[in-house]
C-alpha cells in the first residue's frame, strides 16, 4: 500500500495504491470548502497523475474528500480576483491541461460521485471514462448565473455524452438533475442501488478481469472514434498490435482450455 499526499492548506490531493498496486485512488480533498478547486490543487492533481502514469495500476478511481458533496467546482473567490488575461492564460488553460491529462490516462478511470457535482466538479467527473453515482448525487453547470461559461471542457465533454439539446438544457437553465435523470441521459453509467462502494467494487472487479493492454487500446480507440478517426484503420492497427502480446496468447489459451486467464500486462 502506497499513499502520496500534498499539503492541506489549499486542498490536498492524495494518491493511494492498493496492496497489489492494481487500483489507484486519487482523492481531491478540500472538504471544508466543499472540495472547491484552486490552481494549486490542479497543479498537485497533475503531479499525482504523473505518479499514476508511472505506476502499474490498471484502474483509477477519482474520489473527493468529505461526504455528500463530490465537488462544487472552481473556487469562485480565487478566480474572481484574476484579470481577464490571467483567466485566459492560467485558470482556463490549466484546467484544460490537467483534465485532458486525466482523460488521456492509459488506464480506465472511474469517477465516484456521492452528492453534488457542479461546475468544475462535474467537469472533473466528465474527464473520467466512467461515472458511478450514489442516489443522492446531483449534477449541474451553473456558470451562466455567474456571468461566465463552463470553462474546463464541460461544453465539449457533456455534449458528447448527452447531445447538444440536453447540454444546452443543463447549461442555459442552470437546473440540477438527479442521479436517475443523469443515468437516463447517459451522463452516469450506473446509480448504486445500495452502497456506492459496493457498486464501485463490482466495476473494479470487472475491469481487472480483462487484458490490460487490450483494455487500454480499446479506450484509445473509442476516444479516437469520438474524434472522427476511421475504425477500419485504427482497429486494424490495434488488433495487429494486441495479437503480439503475451496476454492475447493467454486469453486464447484460457478460452480453448475453458480456464480463467491470468493476464500480466505484457
Looking at residue 8, what is its pLDDT? 45
Place of cell 447540454: 167
Instruction: Determine which helix (DSSP H) or strand (DSSP E) holds 142, and give its type and residue range.
Output: none
Per-residue pLDDT tens over the stretch 84-129: 777 777 788 999 999 999 999 999 999 999 999 999 999 999 999 9
pLDDT-derived band at 260, boundaries 50, 70, 90: very high
Active site residue 123: yes
Exposed, middle or buried: residue 182 (CB in 10 Å: 0-12, 13-18, 19+)? buried
Tell me, what DSSP letter sits at residue 74?
A: B
pTM (predicted TM-score): 0.92
CA angle 167, 153, 100 (to 5 degrees): 140
Do residues 139 and 132 make contact, with C-beta atoms less than 8 angstroms apart? no
Q: 73: closest CA among 19, 124, 13?
A: 124
Spatial neighbors of 80 by CB under 8 A, at least 6 apart, are none
Q: Which is the catalytic residue, given 53, 143, 199, 235?
A: 143
Query: Phi first, then psi: what are they for 257, rounded to 5°?
Result: -90, 0
Q: What mean pLDDT do residues 188-213 have?
A: 95
Q: What is the CATH number of domain 2-208?
A: 3.90.226.10
Instruction: Determine which helix (DSSP H) or strand (DSSP E) holds 28, and give its type and residue range.
Output: strand 23-29
Tell me, what DSSP letter sits at residue 124?
A: H
Per-residue pLDDT tens over the stretch 156-192: 999 999 999 999 999 999 999 999 999 999 999 999 9
Q: Which is the catalytic residue, given 44, 123, 235, 250?
A: 123
Q: Does pLDDT of 135 surpass 70?
A: yes
Q: Buried (b) or exposed (e) across 80-117, using 16+ Cβ within 10 A?
A: eeeeeeeeeeebbeebbebbebbbebbbbbbbbbbbbb
Q: Where are the chain's structural domains? A: 2-208, 212-256
Q: What mean pLDDT do residues 203-219 have?
A: 94
Sheet (strand 59-64) strand order: 2-4, 12-17, 23-29, 59-64, 109-113, 130-133, 190-191
Percent with pLDDT over 70 in the chain: 97
Spatial neighbors of 209 by CB under 8 A, at least 6 apart, are none
Amino acid at each position: 500500500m502506497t499513499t502520496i499526499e500534498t499539503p492541506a492548506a489549499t486542498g490536498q490531493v492524495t494518491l493511494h495504491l492498493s496492496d497489489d498496486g492494481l487500483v489507484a485512488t486519487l482523492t481531491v480533498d478540500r472538504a471544508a470548502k466543499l472540495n472547491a478547486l484552486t490552481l494549486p490543487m490542479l497543479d498537485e492533481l497533475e503531479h499525482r497523475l504523473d505518479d499514476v502514469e508511472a505506476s502499474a495500476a490498471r484502474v483509477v478511481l477519482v474520489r473527493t474528500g468529505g461526504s455528500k458533496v463530490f465537488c462544487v467546482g472552481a473556487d469562485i473567490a480565487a478566480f474572481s480576483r484574476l484579470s481577464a488575461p490571467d483567466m485566459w492564460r492560467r485558470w482556463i488553460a490549466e484546467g484544460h491541461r490537467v483534465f485532458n491529462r486525466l482523460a488521456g490516462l492509459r488506464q480506465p478511470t472511474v469517477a465516484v460521485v456521492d452528492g453534488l457535482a457542479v461546475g468544475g466538479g462535474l467537469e472533473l467527473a466528465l474527464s473520467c471514462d466512467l461515472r458511478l453515482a450514489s442516489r443522492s448525487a446531483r449534477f449541474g453547470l451553473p456558470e451562466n448565473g455567474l456571468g461566465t461559461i463552463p470553462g474546463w471542457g464541460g461544453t465539449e465533454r457533456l455534449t458528447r455524452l448527452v447531445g447538444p439539446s440536453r447540454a444546452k438544457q443543463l447549461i442555459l437553465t442552470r437546473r440540477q438533475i438527479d442521479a436517475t435523470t443523469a443515468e437516463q441521459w447517459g451522463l452516469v453509467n450506473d446509480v448504486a442501488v445500495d452502497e456506492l462502494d459496493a457498486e464501485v467494487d463490482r466495476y473494479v472487479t470487472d475491469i481487472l478481469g480483462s487484458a490490460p493492454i487490450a483494455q487500454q487500446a480499446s479506450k484509445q480507440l473509442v476516444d479516437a472514434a469520438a474524434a472522427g478517426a476511421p475504425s477500419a484503420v485504427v482497429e486494424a492497427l490495434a488488433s495487429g498490435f494486441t495479437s503480439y502480446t503475451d496476454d492475447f496468447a493467454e486469453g486464447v489459451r484460457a478460452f480453448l482450455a475453458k480456464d480463467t486467464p491470468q493476464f500480466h500486462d505484457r
